[in-house]
């Protein structure tokens, strides 16, 4: 750490400087990147299929090029996942090359972490030196949410890597007003949109404002370049949107999450503005309750509850990891599971942003350090406010989107206050950043007080000593002591986040809403899977798998919902039709399903343990794991039921048999 800080003892410069690389700098970067790779790749298959919903789609993509292109849940291309396909392209292509497995699916996610850390290092090092870049890269690598999601198969890892790439390109563009780097910014944003739609574009205002303020060219040129970036964004994302429009709907999979089988309906509706504004037609508990229990019982946030379920019960469920588990407001990023995932260095990042702006207030408009601070600071503010106030469907891991911004500000702030350590501003700034990071780390660890209590007290003591030391020990004769205190402060500030990230790396994570930290934590939102794991985990049923593998139809079977279909696909390695998709999509209609059966495209219809029985059993298990008792009402209100007409027709038309603990209907002899 001394080697990192000591070469940076230079006076602030109005422009970026690029000193000759020293041995410690080269070694430091290698250690950072190799360390990130080793930590994130270590025992990565402990997560198995992670989120089975996306794992099923990755397997489908490894088997069929059209499924890979559209992100289909099954290789026969009935319906897509409810997100754009960029993440599926990476995992599916890896499965095609290396053979589908947990490793082929998850290793690319971990490598995305290494790439994101490298890009953040490069962005910060260009403006504040390589020591600052190393601090920023380290800060990103030790965030618990990064340790969680860069070893998982949700789209967030790909999206955040592309957002970071856009920020890096913006900083390169600001250096000389380069239109080519501006265009690359737009390309990165376009593909970030194709990773997770509007969330990938939330960084765009920050990048545009920073470029318009700081690029060293005339205002008219800055505006023109911003328009170029916008055009590049539209082109790099619009080709896929145009593809979904021009490709005949009858020969491609249904766009899951949309009401009219169009990609843009998904963007504007379920997965876009409706989610932010709280006007969503479906999703999670609210959607399921609205479909199944209208007119019954009390209401919760405008939705009717089933008989026997109270508002208090639903609120308790939400607080323990369900959709919308955090109340909207400025405190969301600091509380509950969200706080454990992202907030460790958030107070320090906000303090650092203010300090850098104050320290660079007299520098020219084109000052690169301030420009970089604007990139990361505005990114944090814009995205943070959206995440804080969005009305529904908020998972704690969404906050990975602001991870690079937090880490970038921490690196910039520590460096800027270090080079000013002989000034009052530098001493106050160093102490403030140390107190903000270490003090908040103590508070978060206190919320999980039974886990390694000695860690939080060590962090608190080191924080107080370091903050006092850097503030009261000015002057050249005691410079070495100042260095020691800053090093202690950085270690203390990073300590809580590092401890929780290490604990996260050691745990298996599955399901739709994984959580961070040690196992059996008593914090709110505990549990390793959260909502979504209920319908993705399945008990072994070799007899059923063998039956499905012996079929020769387009789909071996049909089952309600994509999560259950993906689980069957992963166990049997056969194509399964997901009725209703992930979120009660309007496909297939009863008439369409009858035609599929008449044309002998589906062999079996499956209910039982793979459907309601399995979901109920898993809910009861989850309830026991959380110290709750799952009642019939509370275990039932989370299940959708928009295609009951299909189930009713199958039950009335075909004989059933039990295979293991699963009810199966044989559709093969239907003639209409």
Q: What HEC string does 572-593 produce? A: HCCCEEEECCCCCCCCCCHHHH
Span 578-628, pLDDT tens digits: 999 987 899 999 999 999 999 999 999 999 553 343 333 333 333 333 333
Confidence of residue 266 (pLDDT cuts 50, 70, 90): confident
* pLDDT top residue among 72 and 301: 72
Find the DSSP H helices in 293-402.
311-319, 336-342, 346-359, 368-389
Q: Output the pLDDT for position 446.
A: 97
- Which of 288-292, 543-547, 629-633 is predicted least confidently? 629-633
Quote the tokens at residue 271: 């997965």
* Residues 564-578, mean pLDDT to the nearest whole number: 97
Q: Output the pLDDT for position 23.
A: 81
* Residues 372-401, mean pLDDT to the nearest whole number: 91
Q: Output the pLDDT for position 313.
A: 52
CB neighbour list of residue 635: distance below 8 Å, 6 or more residues apart: 615, 616, 619, 620, 623
* Measured CA angle at 156 (ends 155, 158), to 5 deg: 75
Confidence of residue 26 (pLDDT cuts 50, 70, 90): confident
> What burial letters (b/e) apply to 209-247, b meaning 16+ CB within 10 Å?
ebbebbbbbeeeebeebbebbeebbeebbeebbeebeee
Of 294, 515, 269, which is closest to residue 392 (Cα–Cα)?
A: 269
* Residue-by-residue DSSP string for 556-571: EEEEESHHHHHHHHHH
**Helix, strand, coil percentages for the chain (3-state, nearest 5):** 65, 5, 30
Q: Output the pLDDT for position 420.
A: 94
First to last CA, the chain: 75
Q: Name 665's bridge partners.
A: 605, 656
Quote the tokens at residue 317: 């469920």
Measure the CA–CA gap between 202 and 190, rounded to whole angstroms: 12
* Residue-by-residue DSSP string for 131-156: HHHHHHHHHHHT-HHHHHHTTS-STH
Residue 112 has pLDDT above 60, yes or no: yes
Residue 201 has pLDDT above 70, yes or no: yes
Q: Which of 257-271, 276-290, 320-334, 370-384 has the highest mean pLDDT?
A: 370-384
Q: Output the pLDDT for position 610.
A: 38
Measure the CA–CA gap between 607 and 643, rounded to whole angstroms: 13
Measure the CA–CA gap between 244 and 254, rounded to whole angstroms: 10
Q: Output the pLDDT for position 445.
A: 97
Measure the CA–CA gap between 567 and 573, rounded to whole angstroms: 10
Q: What three-state secondary structure class fits 314? A: helix
Residue 57 has pLDDT above 60, yes or no: yes
Mean pLDDT of all residues in the chain?
85
* Residues 441-468, mean pLDDT to the nearest whole number: 96
Span 114-134, pLDDT tens digits: 999 999 999 999 999 999 999
Q: CB 40: neighbour CB atoms within 10 A? A: 24
- Which of 89-98, 152-161, 177-186, 624-633 is predicted least confidently? 624-633
Confidence of residue 390 (pLDDT cuts 50, 70, 90): confident
Q: Name 558's bridge partners.
A: 577, 605
Confidence of residue 265 (pLDDT cuts 50, 70, 90): confident
Q: Output the pLDDT for position 661.
A: 87
Of 41, 110, 97, 28, which is closest to residue 68 (Cα–Cα)?
A: 97
Give the β-pairing of 303-304 and 576-579: unpaired
Confidence of residue 670 (pLDDT cuts 50, 70, 90): very high
Q: Output the pLDDT for position 107.
A: 98
* Residues 459-476, mean pLDDT to the nearest whole number: 87
Confidence of residue 21 (pLDDT cuts 50, 70, 90): low
Phi first, then psi: give them for residue 20, nearest 5 degrees: -60, 140
Q: Output the pLDDT for position 22.
A: 72
Share of residues in the chain with pLDDT > 70 (%): 79
Measure the CA–CA gap between 543 and 195, rounded to whole angstroms: 37
Measure the CA–CA gap between 34 and 45, rounded to whole angstroms: 19
Measure the CA–CA gap between 149 and 501, rounded to whole angstroms: 11
Measure the CA–CA gap between 27 and 25, rounded to whole angstroms: 5
Share of residues in the chain with pLDDT > 90 (%): 72
Measure the CA–CA gap between 60 and 566, rounded to whole angstroms: 9
Measure the CA–CA gap between 652 and 387, rounded to whole angstroms: 47
- Which of 134-148, 251-265, 300-314 is predicted least confidently? 300-314
Residue 290 has pLDDT above 50, yes or no: no
Measure the CA–CA gap between 536 and 515, rounded to whole angstroms: 16
Q: CB 453: neighbour CB atoms within 10 A? A: 12
Q: Output the pLDDT for position 303.
A: 42
- Which of 72-86, 302-316, 549-563 is predicted least confidently? 302-316
Residue 288 has pLDDT above 50, yes or no: no
Contact, 329 vs 389, CB < 8 A? yes
* Residues 491-495, mean pLDDT to the nearest whole number: 98
Q: Output the pLDDT for position 525.
A: 36
CB neighbour list of residue 572: distance below 8 Å, 6 or more residues apart: 544, 545, 548, 549, 556
Quote the tokens at residue 443: 């508070």
Residue 283 has pLDDT above 80, yes or no: no
Report DSSP state, residue 444.
H
Measure the CA–CA gap between 510 and 620, rounded to whole angstroms: 17
- Which of 184-193, 381-390, 462-471, 536-545 is predicted least confidently? 536-545
Confidence of residue 474 (pLDDT cuts 50, 70, 90): low
């Amino acid at each position: 750490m001394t080697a990192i800080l000591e070469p940076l003892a230079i006076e602030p410069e109005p422009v970026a400087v690029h000193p000759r690389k020293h041995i410690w700098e080269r070694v430091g970067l290698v250690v950072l990147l190799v360390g990130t790779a080793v930590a994130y790749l270590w025992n990565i298959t402990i997560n198995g299929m992670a989120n089975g919903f996306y794992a099923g789609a990755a397997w489908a993509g490894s088997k069929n090029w059209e499924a890979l292109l559209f992100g289909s849940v099954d290789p026969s291309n009935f319906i897509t996942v409810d997100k754009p396909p960029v993440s599926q392209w990476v995992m599916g292509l890896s499965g095609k090359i290396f053979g589908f497995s947990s490793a082929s699916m998850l290793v690319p996610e971990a490598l995305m972490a290494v790439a994101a850390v490298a890009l953040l290092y490069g962005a910060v090092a260009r403006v504040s030196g390589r020591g600052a870049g190393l601090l920023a890269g380290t800060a990103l690598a030790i965030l618990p949410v990064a340790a969680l999601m860069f070893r998982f198969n949700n789209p967030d890892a790909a999206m955040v890597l592309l957002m970071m790439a856009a920020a890096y390109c913006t900083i390169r563009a600001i250096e000389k007003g380069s239109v080519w780097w501006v265009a690359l910014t737009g390309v990165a944003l376009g593909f970030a949109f194709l990773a997770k739609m509007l969330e990938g574009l939330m960084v765009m205002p920050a990048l545009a404002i920073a470029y318009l303020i700081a690029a060293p060219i005339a205002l008219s040129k800055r505006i023109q370049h911003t328009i170029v970036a916008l055009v590049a964004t539209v082109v790099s994302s619009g080709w896929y949107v145009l593809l979904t429009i021009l490709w005949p709907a009858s020969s491609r999979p249904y766009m899951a999450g949309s009401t009219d089988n169009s990609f843009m309906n998904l963007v504007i509706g379920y997965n876009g503005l409706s989610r932010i504004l709280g006007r969503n037609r479906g999703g999670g508990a609210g959607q399921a309750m609205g479909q199944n229990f209208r007119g019954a019982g009390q209401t919760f946030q405008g939705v009717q509850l089933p008989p026997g379920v109270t508002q208090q019960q639903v609120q308790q469920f939400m607080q323990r990891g369900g959709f919308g588990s955090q109340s909207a407001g400025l405190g969301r990023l600091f509380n509950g599971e969200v706080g454990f995932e992202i907030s460790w260095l958030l107070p320090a990042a906000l303090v650092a942003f203010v300090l850098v702006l104050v320290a660079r207030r007299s520098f020219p408009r084109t000052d690169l350090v301030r420009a970089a601070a604007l990139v990361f600071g505005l990114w944090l503010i814009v995205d943070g406010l959206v995440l804080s106030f969005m009305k529904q469907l908020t998972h704690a891991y969404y906050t990975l989107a602001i991870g690079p911004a937090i880490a970038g500000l921490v690196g910039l702030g520590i460096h800027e206050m270090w080079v000013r350590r002989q000034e009052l501003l530098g001493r106050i700034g160093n102490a403030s950043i140390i107190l903000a990071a270490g003090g908040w780390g103590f508070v978060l660890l206190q919320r999980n007080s039974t886990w390694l209590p000695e860690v939080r007290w060590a962090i608190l003591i080191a924080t107080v000593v370091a903050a006092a030391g850097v503030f009261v020990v000015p002057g050249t004769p005691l410079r070495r002591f100042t260095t020691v205190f800053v090093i202690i402060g950085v270690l203390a500030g990073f300590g809580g986040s590092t401890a929780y990230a290490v604990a996260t790396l050691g745990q298996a994570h599955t399901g739709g809403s994984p959580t961070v930290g040690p196992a059996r934590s008593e914090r709110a939102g505990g549990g390793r899977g959260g909502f979504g794991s209920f319908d993705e985990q399945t008990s072994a049923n070799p007899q059923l798998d063998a039956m499905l593998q012996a079929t020769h139809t387009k789909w071996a079977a049909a089952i309600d919902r994509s999560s259950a279909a993906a689980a069957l696909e992963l166990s049997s390695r056969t194509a399964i039709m997901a009725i209703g998709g992930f979120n009660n999509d309007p496909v297939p209609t009863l008439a369409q399903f009858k035609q599929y059966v008449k044309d002998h495209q589906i062999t079996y219809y499956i209910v039982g343990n793979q459907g309601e029985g399995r979901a109920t059993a898993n809910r009861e298990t989850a309830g026991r794991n959380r110290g709750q008792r799952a009642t019939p009402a509370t275990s039932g209100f989370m299940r959708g039921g928009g295609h009951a007409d299909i189930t009713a027709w199958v039950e009335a038309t075909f004989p059933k048999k039990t295979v293991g603990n699963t009810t199966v209907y044989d559709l093969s002899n239907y003639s209409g």
